[in-house]
Amino acid sequence: MVSTDLQTITTADQLYALPDDGNRYELIEGVLSMMSPAGSEHGRIAGRIFLRLAAHVEQHELGETYAAETGFRIAQSPDTVRAPDAAYVSRERLEAVAPTTGYLPLAPDLVVEVVSPNDSFSSVEAKAADWLKAGCQVVLVADPSNLTIHVYESGSEIRLLRSGDRFSAGSICGGWSLDVDDAFGGSK
């Protein structure tokens, strides 16, 4: 097996060619960042949200949804590859890029990030800011510790949704909506 010096990974192509070592990585402005595996609560919530999003997108033939671990190249020189917990890209935007087996060279229309116990909220906010800067229209940050969803639509427009509230994507994703209680279903 060929040994790879992780410190030499600075581009999306190098990251994509990296042999699977059982770890998860993102590339942030040309710097490789290892991510801890998601815990059960994180995975359960991300899965619940992804399933609801994917069913809606498929039913209405809106585009494609992507599950956790899918990398998106959202900046070049230096490269940034981020991997959200769930994402949606419209059919129109997908048709505008060349098919690839590598990372999609765009920011999704909608991104979902679930806060893990080992995440600092400031690091999750920085990730949301990266998505928005790259062109994402809305970022949902689900926080299991207090059963809330932060909705980022711009750096200055952030809404907080609590139990009993409903998120609506409106025209961004064909009217998809998500009840906060349903996203966390049975938590705490």
| Complete domains list, the chain, with CATH | 38-73+81-184 (3.90.1570.10)
Q: Distance (Å, rounded) from C-alpha 163 to C-alpha 165? A: 6
Q: The sheet that has 31-35: what strands, in order across it? A: 31-35, 24-28, 80-82, 72-75
Q: What is the pLDDT of residue 3?
A: 42
pLDDT digit string, tens, across residues 36-45: 878 899 999 9
Predicted pLDDT at 5: 57
Q: How far lies 113's CA from each of 10, 45, 61, 69, in Å?
A: 24, 10, 23, 12
pLDDT of 6: 65
pTM of structure: 0.91
Whether 50 shows a pLDDT value over 60: the answer reads yes
Q: What is the pLDDT of residue 1?
A: 34
Q: 52 pLDDT exceeds 60?
A: yes
